[in-house]
Amino acid sequence: MVAPCPTSMMVRTKKTKAMGVPTIDLSMERSKLSELVVKACEEYGFFKVVNHSVQKEVIARLEEEGKEFFSKTSSEKRQAGPANPFGYGCRNIGPNGDMGHLEYLLLHTNPLSISERSKTIANDPTKFSCAVNDYIEAVKELTCEVLDMVEEGLWVQDKFSLSKLIRDVHSDSLLRINQYPPVSLKGTKNWDTSKLEAHQLQSQNNNNNNNNIGFGEHSDPQILTIMRSNNVDGLQISTHDGLWIPVPPDPNEFFVMVGDALQVLTNGRFVSVRHRVLTNTTKARMSMMYFAAPPLNWWITPLPKMVTPHNPSLYKPFTWAQYKQAAYSLRLGDARLDLFKIQ
């Protein structure tokens, strides 16, 4: 069931509303599960899954590869960059001037692309690409399981239509590994501190808790995001009424986020979750995100079941390639779906 978090995981927002992140136990009975997945997607666009079938060893191997990569020198890491379209990025997010307090690897999930990229990323490219491919295969299965539950819970006729897109060989899904260094940066190794002071000042002004913005507020453009982090906090999600909820980290479990494309596919019944990462810790946070996307030429329109004469489509049809192009022409936090709304 969508269980509220235990008291230790509850947070009090400024408006003193006690809230918890919905948690879904995947070992529960299937018919109940799909109902609860839909409820969590409607209420938060976000939930945690426990009792999933991704092996710990698969997660640990990718985490090790991430650690090994980020511990390299700046010039070694830059050999894998720039991140546009894929590779290593440091502080710059996207092409329009967004900045974060992080470094990252952004990869396409196509195995050929991974094997090519591995050569500039790792000392042992085969070991790296095996760890990445195994992780992708495992989280893809988890994604598909969740999407099948979504369609089951929405009583959609072809309940595999979304998971088919993700399994498609031409799927445009991505993998991202983010590393947020600790806030106290003086003397931080392997982290280029030029331009940092101005950036830190700007972050502090925008944030009265004196936290640094690791990754600014945004929603993910894709269908679904599956996120896993080490045991370091920082992730916050926004509720529909604009309250920020800190999400306690849980290295053994996964967090699921509704993306913009799923908002359109459900004709606005689900709303993509706005989230951000604040770095306020003395430990580095490492997170891994699988962004589940359809093939580039796929048309994103509401599922037929979600459109009725009383509930017409809210969005003009567009391909995934068109949506990506729009996303990359805007800033990180922009409401990019507005461009496709039917007035």
- The minimum distance between CB 334 and ligand GA4, in angstroms, equals 8
Catalytic residue among 117, 276, 285, 336: 285
Q: 174 or 306: whose CB is closer to ligand GA4? A: 174
- Regarding 228 and contact with ligand GA4 (CB under 6 A), the answer is no
- Regarding 94 and contact with ligand GA4 (CB under 6 A), the answer is yes
The residue from 41, 80, 106, 224 that contacts ligand GA4 (CB under 6 A) is: 106
* Geometric angle at alpha carbon 275, from 150 and 273, rounded to 5°: 30
Cα dihedral value 138, 53, 279, 101, nearest 10: 0
Q: 148 or 260: whose CB is closer to ligand GA4? A: 260
**Amino acid found at 128:** F
The yes-or-no answer on residue 285 being catalytic is yes
Query: What would the DSSP string read from start to end of 27-59?
Result: TS-HHHHHHHHHHHHHHTSEEEEES----HHHH
User: Nearest Cα to 331, choosing from 257, 222, 244, 221?
Assistant: 221
- Regarding 220 and contact with ligand GA4 (CB under 6 A), the answer is yes
How many residues interact with ligand GA4 (rule CB under 6 A)?
15
| DSSP secondary structure letter of residue 85 | S
Tell me the window of 30-38, 113-121, 303-311, 327-335 that interacts with ligand GA4 (CB under 6 A).
Answer: 327-335
- Regarding 327 and contact with ligand GA4 (CB under 6 A), the answer is yes
Q: 47 or 320: whose CB is closer to ligand GA4? A: 320
For residues 194 and 229, is the Cβ–Cβ distance under 8 A?
no
- Regarding 328 and contact with ligand GA4 (CB under 6 A), the answer is yes
Rounded CA separation 95/117 (Å): 20
User: Nearest Cα to 141, choosing from 26, 309, 15, 265?
Assistant: 26
- The minimum distance between CB 84 and ligand GA4, in angstroms, equals 7
- Report, as residue numbers or ranges, the catalytic residues: 285
Residues that bind ligand GA4 (CB under 6 A): 93-94, 96, 98, 106, 174, 176, 218, 220-221, 291, 327-328, 331-332
